[in-house]
């Protein structure tokens, strides 16, 4: 393996000169990989072919309904996909150089926790690790998953009146639907965007979220729950629902560990619920892979790279468009 660069996506260059490009807006590699279908990773200009899970392919089609789509495949001679634990369909990518046998693991966004029917990341050995570091500072330590989920279900059971739950339409919304199902409340309402995502997952995974479709004429009762996209928490139509029904606004994120999250989202209540590794889990991934080199990206990339160096690893935070290690 001759290089790891952050350009349009993460670019891995093999000894042959071939390029494996991961999560680019306009992928142009010899091999193009899509780790998952969140908008900050999903292509905008589709290449001819993408390596991804079947579920990620279905979700990409659902999220880019009116655009052309590439051919997709799950297997490739020197690219191996394995569960990343982030959202439904997410995959980590292990690239093995066919000439040298050198192995590079690109995690994409990842979580080592088993959650909501998903396997957590079980990282394989690799010579180089490219890891996301969204929560790459020591203050981001999350409680055990069972405890986090139990607290949320208890809140759903014990609170009065309708609830508005805010989370990403892909990943967080489905987790919230499953948590509502565990509670004493009826199946939740979801928006058109979340219903479209649900259908894509249900068609591939054979699950049934059973959510009800929220429409403008829907009247929320005392026990009802409406799951909304997180970016809508301060919009006028949400304020109108609150005024008409007295609904409680509840935000869910790993960032809920910061007190400012509640005020930024104008929430009444917040809960930690993350699709990413916390700090200790990121460290555990590095120690499990035990690479010769660690590259960090997203979030607290520089801080986590420094921590890896303190543990005895060679580590660098990826910077966009660097051309050599000396440019870091």
Of 131-135, 308-312, 323-327, where does mean pLDDT reach its minimum? Answer: 323-327
Q: What is the pLDDT of residues 215-234, one digit of tens each?
A: 989 999 999 999 999 999 99
Query: How would CATH label the architecture of 3-139+276-327?
Result: 4-Layer Sandwich (3.60)
In percent, the amount of the chain with pLDDT more than 90 equals 94
For the chain, the average pLDDT equals 95
pTM of the predicted structure, to 2 decimals: 0.94
Average pLDDT over residues 170-191: 97
pLDDT value, residue 112: 98
pLDDT value, residue 328: 35
- Given a cut of 60, whether residue 293 has pLDDT beyond it is yes
Average pLDDT over residues 244-251: 97
149-154-155 Cα angle (round to 5): 100
Query: How would CATH label the architecture of 145-271?
Result: 3-Layer(aba) Sandwich (3.40)
Average pLDDT over residues 267-283: 98
- Given a cut of 60, whether residue 16 has pLDDT beyond it is yes
- Given a cut of 90, whether residue 60 has pLDDT beyond it is yes
**Residue extent(s) of CATH 3.60.15.10 domains in the chain:** 3-139+276-327
Average pLDDT over residues 286-301: 97
Residues 89, 51: Cα–Cα separation, whole Å: 12
- Given a cut of 90, whether residue 89 has pLDDT beyond it is yes
Tallying the residues shown for the chain, one arrives at 328
Q: What pLDDT band is residue 1 in, cutting at 50, 70 and 90?
A: low
pLDDT value, residue 326: 40
Q: What is the pLDDT of residues 186-195, one digit of tens each?
A: 999 999 999 9
pLDDT value, residue 228: 98
Residues 155, 162: Cα–Cα separation, whole Å: 12
Average pLDDT over residues 16-42: 96
102: exposed, middle or buried (Cβ count in 10 Å: 0-12, 13-18, 19+): middle
**Residue extent(s) of CATH 3.40.50.10710 domains in the chain:** 145-271
Give me the half-sphere count of Cα atoms (radius 13 Å) on the Cβ side of residue 154.
7
- Given a cut of 50, whether residue 324 has pLDDT beyond it is no
161 within 8 A of 245, measured Cβ to Cβ: yes
């Amino acid at each position: 393996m001759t290089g790891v660069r952050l350009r349009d996506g993460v670019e891995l260059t093999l000894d042959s000169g071939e390029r494996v490009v991961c999560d680019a807006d306009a992928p142009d590699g010899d091999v193009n990989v899509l780790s998952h279908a969140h908008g900050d990773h999903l292509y905008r200009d589709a290449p001819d072919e993408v390596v991804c899970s079947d579920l990620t392919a279905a979700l990409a089609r659902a999220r880019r309904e009116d655009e052309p789509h590439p051919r997709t495949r799950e297997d490739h001679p020197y690219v191996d996909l394995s569960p990343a634990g982030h959202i439904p369909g997410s995959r980590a990518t292990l690239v093995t150089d066919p000439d040298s046998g050198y192995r590079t693991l690109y995690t994409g966004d990842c979580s080592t926790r088993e959650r909501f029917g998903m396997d957590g990341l079980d990282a394989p050995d690799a010579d180089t690790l490219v890891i996301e570091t969204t929560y790459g500072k020591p203050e981001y330590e999350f409680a055990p998953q069972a405890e986090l989920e139990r607290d949320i279900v208890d809140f759903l059971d014990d609170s009065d009146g309708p609830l508005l739950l805010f989370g990403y339409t892909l990943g967080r919304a489905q987790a919230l639907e499953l948590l509502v199902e565990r509670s004493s409340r009826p199946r939740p309402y979801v928006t058109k965007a979340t219903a479209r995502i649900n259908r894509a997952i249900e068609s591939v995974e054979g699950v049934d979220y059973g959510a009800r479709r929220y429409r403008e004429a829907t009247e929320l009762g005392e026990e009802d729950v409406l799951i909304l996209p997180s970016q809508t928490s301060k919009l006028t139509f949400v304020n109108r629902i609150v005024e008409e029904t007295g609904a409680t606004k509840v935000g869910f994120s790993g960032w809920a560990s910061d007190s400012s999250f509640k005020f930024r989202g104008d929430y009444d209540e917040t809960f930690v619920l993350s699709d990413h590794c916390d700090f200790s889990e990121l460290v555990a991934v590095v120690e499990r892979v035990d690479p010769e080199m660690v590259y960090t990206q997203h979030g607290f990339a520089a801080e986590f790279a420094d921590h890896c160096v303190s543990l005895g690893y060679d580590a660098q935070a990826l910077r966009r468009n660097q051309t050599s290690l000396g440019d870091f």
